[in-house]
């Protein structure tokens, strides 16, 4: 038998073009100059959370740092809102103690060294009044459901 050479030649296997890479998420478009990035939205706080936030900032007026410390330790795991305001109130109380004790020590030292330390008394009094105003402003903001941060506060917690 003769070999049949009349068979059509087999075409070479087709080579597939490489697959396109998967679409990656694109970054958001750049904001025009002067525009600020919007802050992340948080769920609205409940009435109870706002009341606890208010108490975190008002209790120090009557109890020092113990009131917000107890409230924060009891409620910090139940709500991010209460955790935030408890930390802010405690950090502010620590900052207030540092500022007023160091100012008082400096005043006493300067009184013994030259008598000019008495000039610092009105300054410390004004600082204490401003800190009281800041606590009241923080309490009002917490009662409105805002995530308040004290200015010039040392963040320890």
In whole angstroms, how far apart are CA 98 and each of 47, 67, 102?
33, 18, 6
Q: What is the domain extent for residue 53? A: 47-144
Query: Does residue 109 carry a pLDDT above 60?
Result: yes
In a domain, 35, yes or no: no
In a domain, 88, yes or no: yes
Residue 94: CB atoms within 10 A of its CB come to 16
Q: Give dist(CA 37, CA 50) in Å, integer.
A: 26
Q: Summarize pLDDT for 49-85 with one digit per residue, the tens.
A: 999 999 999 999 999 999 999 999 999 999 999 999 9
pTM for the predicted model, two decimal places = 0.68
Phi and psi for 59 in degrees, rounded to 5? -60, -35
Look at the chain and report how many structural domains it folds into.
Answer: 1
Start-to-end Cα distance in the chain: 96
- From the list 146, 127, 119, 125, the residue with the least C-alpha distance to 57 is 146
In a domain, 58, yes or no: yes
């Amino acid at each position: 038998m003769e070999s049949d050479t009349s068979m059509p030649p087999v075409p070479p296997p087709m080579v597939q073009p490489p697959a396109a890479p998967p679409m990656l998420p694109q970054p958001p478009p750049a904001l025009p100059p002067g525009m600020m990035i919007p802050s992340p939205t948080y769920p609205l706080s409940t009435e109870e959370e706002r009341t606890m936030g208010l108490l975190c900032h008002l209790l120090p007026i009557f109890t020092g740092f113990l009131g917000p410390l107890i409230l924060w330790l009891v409620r910090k795991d139940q709500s991010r809102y209460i955790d935030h305001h408890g930390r802010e109130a405690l950090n502010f109380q620590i900052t207030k103690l540092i500022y007023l004790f160091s100012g008082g020590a400096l005043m006493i030292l300067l009184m013994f060294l030259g008598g000019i330390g008495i000039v610092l008394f009105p300054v410390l009094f004004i600082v204490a009044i401003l800190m009281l105003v800041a606590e009241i402003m923080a309490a009002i903001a917490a009662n409105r459901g805002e995530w308040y941060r004290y200015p010039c506060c040392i963040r320890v917690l």
